Amino acid sequence: MASKREKLRLTIDVMGKAYKLLSFAIRNNGDLGIDLKPATHEYQAPELERPRAEIVSARLSIHQTSRDPTGNTFTFEVQRTPQSGAALRSQNFTRAMKTFDRFAPVLFRRFPLLVDHGQPDDGKCPTFSLGEMDEKSFSLIVAMFVCRSTRTFDCPEDDFKVAQRKFGDFNLVFLVSFLSLPALPTGTTLFVESTKDGSSPHPRPDGCTEFTALSDFYDFRDQLKESWIEHLVSISTSKTDPPRWILSNAGKFFRQGIRDATPEMTVHLSQFAPYYPILQKIPKAE
């Protein structure tokens, strides 16, 4: 069991500065607390006249109660300012860890532009770094899974990186990839929502093997590529539209997240560079 005060931060370096991605803490009762950095943001529906809700924090809790020997409850809570309305709360129940010794999906995220919207690390607690990236050329994609501390995610790396860290009674597993398109002011975050009685079914109630975790990761990554392209096309004009052949190749390269990853990557990014100014038109939202 980890110390009551044990904490950890997941970070990545951008332009020589470390930025927070996720913060972790083991609570006194053994629960795992996860704090998203930066917090998510809500889209404002066009038909609504009220201002877009301001998110103060977005946090996850993985409960370790002994009252249910078969599974764990995950709670996701978004705290908004008093003017923006009540907090949003959702849950899911999984038998992945306690019953099947598998990997439970926690979240999938394409991070927003960290230089403008992220939080620099202040060095107040231990960090686990994913290395460096170039946000002018790449968007960071992370899928997080959690399993027992005795289990390891074992698979060969291809166009993604596996990073994992033992923490308390858990092993934190991160599948990391870089979409070869510049980071946007917007981000995209996906959580699983379900009920224990099955009225709202969990897509992976018994957890994931390495194979099914990778399958879900690939599917989500492809969806992110398409949503990124849709964002760009929606704000472009006929004079500034990038040629479709550039966009069609946008998801071909999933590499280390640095400009000179491969000669082919350098060519691809140089072709796309003239269209970077278009991205500034996209409002901050998630």
Tens of pLDDT, residue by residue over 143-179, are 999 999 999 999 988 888 999 999 999 999 999 998 8
Distance (Å, whole) CA 156 – CA 150: 19
User: Element (H or E) spanning 115, and its range?
Assistant: helix 114-117
CB atoms within 10 A of CB 119: 14
Structural domain includes residue 172? yes
- Phi/psi at 22 (5° precision): -145, 145
What is the total count of domains within the chain? 1
Please work out, in degrees rounded to the nearest 5, the angle formed at the alpha carbon of residue 156 by the alpha carbons of 153 and 160.
Answer: 90
Structural domain includes residue 277? no
Q: Please indicate whether residue 53 or residue 186 has the higher confidence score (pLDDT).
A: 186
Residue 255, Cα to own-chain centre: how many angstroms?
17
Three-state DSSP at 50 gives coil
235-281 pLDDT, tens digit each? 555 455 555 555 666 556 666 777 766 777 777 777 766 666 666 55
Q: Does the pLDDT value for residue 44 go beyond 50?
A: no
Contact 37, 64 (CB under 8 A): no
User: Element (H or E) spanning 227, and its range?
Assistant: helix 210-235
Distance (Å, whole) CA 88 – CA 280: 29
| pLDDT number for residue 232 | 66
Structural domain includes residue 254? no
| pLDDT number for residue 204 | 87
Would you give the DSSP letter of residue 205?
A: T
Structural domain includes residue 282? no
Structural domain includes residue 79? yes
Mean confidence (pLDDT) of the chain: 81
pLDDT band, very low/low/confident/very high, at 210 (cuts 50, 70, 90): very high
CA-wise closest residue to 207 among 195, 198, 220, 216: 216
Q: Which pTM value belongs to this model?
A: 0.84
Q: Does the pLDDT value for residue 182 go beyond 90?
A: no
Structural domain includes residue 195? yes
Structural domain includes residue 270? no
Residue 102, Cα to own-chain centre: how many angstroms?
20
Q: Does the pLDDT value for residue 48 go beyond 60?
A: no
63-86 pLDDT, tens digit each? 987 888 999 999 988 877 666 666
Distances from the Cα of 35 to the Cα of 8, 107, 117, 176, angstroms: 11, 12, 16, 18
Range of the domain at 221: 7-228
Structural domain includes residue 200? yes
